[in-house]
Amino acid sequence: MITFEQVSRRYRERLALDSVSWHMDEGECVVFAGPSGAGKTTLLRLITHELAPSSGTVTVGTFRGARLPRAKRALLRRTLGIVYEDFRLLNDRTVFENVALAVRITGHFADAEVVPRSLYALEEVGLQQKQAAYPSELSAGEKQRAAIARAIVNRPAVVLADEPTGALEPASAREILGLLRRIHDEGAALLVVTTRPEIGEALGGRILRLHDGRIAADEAEARPPWSAAASGAAPPAALTDRGA
Ligand code: ADP
């Protein structure tokens, strides 16, 4: 569903991603963990096609190639559900309107369908009581739940989350991770980028460590070298791409 084939991205002199290859299937949960500057945001923006790779190919579902026309890029972004560390809610709209706008913008639904769809998504995140509130009236955890309702309301095949608990205290963070896990259990693929490796454990996802623009190890598949040699097993694909 998402495939990176030897993807590099440069900003002038700085190589932010260095020939990165990886793949995730439909319904999978993948967590990219890495320190600040590792290339996580670049990776997400390549998936959303806000950025084009300097070399290599990014495939997201049937979207493939560096130069998608603007209309296709807009369609892709609506097809993905995206959750940000800083929520990115519209502060002059109610919680309901924030979610409903995401439905309306697809152009697929009559007004009569927008309301029940939006309310259902708010119910899924436990925020139906706050639908008339403005973001400024919500706690940080509630804001993130509203943002998640907006991300899932169009039933995306994949939900992308950029440090989704970064602005939350521990109890809200646990709640948000539980919610993301439930969304994944219900069938959506989930891709999270974070500086916190424990988030991968909390979500039960495959953890890929990103460091200096490279995938360091696929922990879910990593084997000690002697065991790989003994079993004759192929190393993880992410580790064999260089020079291929
Ligand atoms: P992360 O999200 O893991 O912190 P980024 O993808 O934001 O990492 O950045 C990876 C590297 O690319 C960093 O060294 C960063 O300074 C550099 N970088 C990111 N965006 C730009 C930009 N617009 N111009 C120049 N360098 C950038």
Which domain CATH number covers 216? 3.40.50.300
Q: What is the pLDDT of residues 194-240, one digit of tens each?
A: 999 889 999 999 999 999 999 986 543 443 333 333 333 333 322 22
- 14 in ligand 1 pocket by Cβ < 6 Å? yes
What is the edge-to-edge ordering of all strands in the sheet holding 214-218?
80-83, 158-162, 189-194, 29-33, 206-211, 214-218
Q: Find the domain containing 15 and state its range.
A: 2-85+156-240
Please give the C-alpha separations between residue 243 and each of 4, 211, 225, in angstroms, as whole numbers: 15, 19, 20
Predicted TM-score (pTM) above 0.85: yes
Please give the C-alpha separations between residue 155 and each of 63, 102, 125, 209, in angstroms, as whole numbers: 18, 11, 14, 28
Domain annotation covers residue 110: no
Which of the four pLDDT bands, split at 50, 70 and 90, describes residue 168? very high
Nearest CA to ligand 1 atom 16: 37
The answer to whether the CB of 191 falls within 8 A of the CB of 184 is: no
Domain annotation covers residue 162: yes
Q: Closest Cα partner for 119 from 106, 111, 128?
A: 128
Least confident of 46-50, 91-95, 108-112: 108-112
Domain annotation covers residue 72: yes
**Rounded-to-integer distance, Cα 32 and Cα 54, Å:** 21
| Pairing of β 55-60 and β 206-211 | unpaired
The answer to whether the CB of 8 falls within 8 A of the CB of 17 is: yes
- 34 in ligand 1 pocket by Cβ < 6 Å? yes
Nearest CA to ligand 1 atom 26: 11
The distance of Cα 180 from the centroid of its chain, to the nearest Å, equals: 11
- 11 in ligand 1 pocket by Cβ < 6 Å? yes
Question: How many domains are there within the chain?
Answer: 1
